[in-house]
A and B are shown apart, each in its own frame.
Chain A
Amino acid sequence: MTDRQIIELFLHRDESGIAELERQYGTRLTRIAEGFLSREDSEECVNDTWLAAWNHIPPDEPRNLFAYLAVILRNKALNRLKAEQAKKRSVEVVELSEELAACIPDPKADTENEALSSFSDVLNRFLQAESPENRKMFVLRFWYGKSFREIAERFGCSEAKVQKTLNRMKHQLKRKYKKDRNQ
């Protein structure tokens, strides 16, 4: 069943749409959830995601259904971490946002929507041009909120190397964004 057909089921309030959603994307979303949470919590989080999708479609009609679900799931997962008083992790998420915010010039210069749109575009093009290993490090750090140590263990390298790689990428990203804005 295509994404459009699933969305049509949602628009017609046909609950089989949820089952189809689970059938189509359950495994992939669970895997992403496990990037944040324990297996048990991941299953609950994915179920919360189905419910949230049911409550938001309509009025939402996502163009990329899986990406839409993944963002819901990420927010649910982060909220769950905060709710469980995983202070270290939630503090880290804020720190991460500040870390990446350094790459973005003062948003007052643009409207916020423009800043959001243009930087997202630059960011994805930047990631596309990077090597898969660097890209994974970046996404693990900023999307999944992994620590330097966790990333280093995953790649079998030192924490220093991870920090160095990510710092270099942030500087390059900032330069690329500035360059694109000036063009």
Chain B
Amino acid sequence: MTQRPPASSTEPRSTERSLPKPSVEVIDVASIRALMLSEADVDLSSASSYWIESRVAMLASASSVPPTEWLGVMLKHGSEGSHFRELLELLTPGEVAFFEDESLFETLRRSVLPQVMDCNRGQKQLAVWCVECGTGELPYSLRMLLDERFPESREWSIRTVATDSNEACLQRAKAGRFNQLAIHRGLPPTMLVNYFMRDGFEWEIREEFRRTIEFHSWVPSVRLPDDAAFDLVILGRRLGFLRDSLRRQISDRIQSLLRPGGQVLRAQWEEGEGRGLLAEAGREGCL
């Protein structure tokens, strides 16, 4: 979920240093920031230290070792070790709620989807790509929006591709299973009835609907497929963690894949967890 911008996002970090630490262990946050930037292009420079420390503590707790010991192993093995991947995933969360970004979905509903569909009315075909789709709420929300608000789209051939660089997220998205919290966050009750089936404490997206989305693993920094062409591309929140220059490169490359009349939108994202800064959703020339 997104956070409201705190009033003191520019609070000097010295305030934080003066506060009591939760444990006697001192976690080397600077090394984590440096490693994530050099090995994964993830910029955590503005993320609050306590938030980074808490993610390390979480993983250390799961392994039943002290945080400093866990971190020592992680720093020793660098990006080659499994600890690095685990921490990277926690530091770049991809989960959002269904329809969480109201302005994005309002823009889609009011202008972008009508425009894109107008451009493709002849062929009745549409190709959509959700980049860094997280645990699936974004592409499923998009398909529900199309189905509910643009019923003519049911007669169209719509290809929806959803990619994510995090394998665990991707598997959850593919499974289409969501817990009570995910369901309660922003999903209108009618859509819950129309597109989900309850299974214990979880809800599963209906099979026929789940099949409308192709899920693939794709890391934004790698080359794009040559034959890809899309009418609409939506950039998920995890891209917001990447360093600026890389984001621009990816943006340029993605825009080269657009068909005539195609559009790129950016989901609302935080510039980094713990900073609380939100960027406005909207059409983007670049990231």
The judgment on whether A and B are partners is no
A residues at B contact (CB < 8 Å):
none
